[in-house]
Structure 1
Amino acid sequence: MPKRILTGTVVSDKGDKTIVVNVERKVKHPLYGKIMRRSKKYHAHDENNEMSTGETVRIEETKPISKLKTWKVLERVGAAAAPATPKVSEVTAEDEGEVKAES
């Protein structure tokens, strides 16, 4: 029987040699026909602790490694998205004076 291969996003890398991968799939509702997103988390074995949170990875089914781990990391598909940094606008003393005068 062939091994299943899934693609998902790493949501946690806190365990030693373990990552948690969130895999999303789309299913059609049997009665109403609406396309719904379903997700499931899998614990996967990461031998060298190479993966980090936010990366897209491919995981492969394997024999049980521990109580929760029955998957291992095959490869990194995409890098983690850069965190969005909010732009901080500079407020000068003059601007604060105008705001106080208006209110």
Structure 2
Amino acid sequence: MPKRILQGKVVSDANDQTVTVSVERRFTHPVMQKTIRKSKKYRAHDEKNAYKVGDIVRITECAPKSKSKRWEVLEA
């Protein structure tokens, strides 16, 4: 099974080698037929502390790096 790749915006880089990425998805409500935006935050591994708040990054699934990190930033 291929690994998922998501694109989002860095909302926090406070921790060492970790960034918090907010990924937004849009979909049409099944009854209201209105476009809805939902976002979810993922904690991703950033080996070189290269990304700062506001950067647009792509993240991919990986083996668990810590209790909360199951994603890593793809090199751009």
**Fold similarity call, TM over 0.5:** yes
Bigger Cα Rg: 1
Higher relative contact order (CA 8 A, sep 6+): 2
- Pick the structure with more helix per residue: 1
- Verify: 1:2 aligned to 2:7, yes or no: no
Name 1:69's counterpart in structure 2.
69
Unaligned runs of 5+ in 1: 77-103
- Pick the structure with more strand per residue: 2
Aligned length: 76
- Verify: 1:41 aligned to 2:68, yes or no: no
Calculate the TM-score normalised by the size of structure 2.
0.96
Unaligned runs of 5+ in 2: none
Runs (4+) of structure 1 moved beyond 4 Å? none
Calculate the TM-score normalised by the size of structure 1.
0.72
For 1:75 and 1:36, the matched residues in 2 are separated by 30
Name 1:88's counterpart in structure 2.
none
